[in-house]
Structure formats: C-alpha cells, structure tokens
Amino acid sequence: MKQYILNGASQSGVQWDGSEYVIEHSEIITQLTNRILRGNLFAVKSDGRIVKIDSSIIERYFTEI
C-alpha cells in the first residue's frame, strides 16, 4: 500500500458519515483503495480514521514516501 505525507497546508478529507476531517501538515496517510472515478480511501496514521480524498488533492499536496 502506498503511503503519502502532506507537504502543504492542511487539507480536507470526508469521513464515512459525510463529515469533514482536517488532515494537518506532515500527517502520514496510507492508501486503502484504488478507484479511478471517485476519491480513494486513506487511513490517517495518527488516529486510524478512514477518509476519502480526491486524487487531485493527493497529486497537488502530498508526496509519496
């Protein structure tokens, strides 16, 4: 599974219940799904939350580690 670190300003993800979750600078996330048309699911390392993040956000603000 791919892991990414947030290099930019904090970014938003969407939790399973539709609520917004803010991912802070230097947070590490792990990709759980590989969807083409919809955002992928990621696990946030610090607290284990599962969030959906659009691929455009990943490409722009995150770096693969």
Domain ranges, ordered by start, for the chain: 3-64
Cα(32)–Cα(23) distance, rounded to whole angstroms?
16
More confident residue, 22 or 1: 22
Task: Tell me: pLDDT of 37 over 90.
Answer: no
Residue 36 has pLDDT above 80, yes or no: no
pTM score of the predicted model? 0.88
14-41 average pLDDT score: 91
The predicted pLDDT at position 42 comes to 96
What single string gives the DSSP state of each residue in 15-34? ETTS-EEEEPTT-EEEE---
Local confidence band at 58 (pLDDT 50, 70, 90 cut-offs)? very high
CA 43-48-51 angle, to 5 degrees, is 40
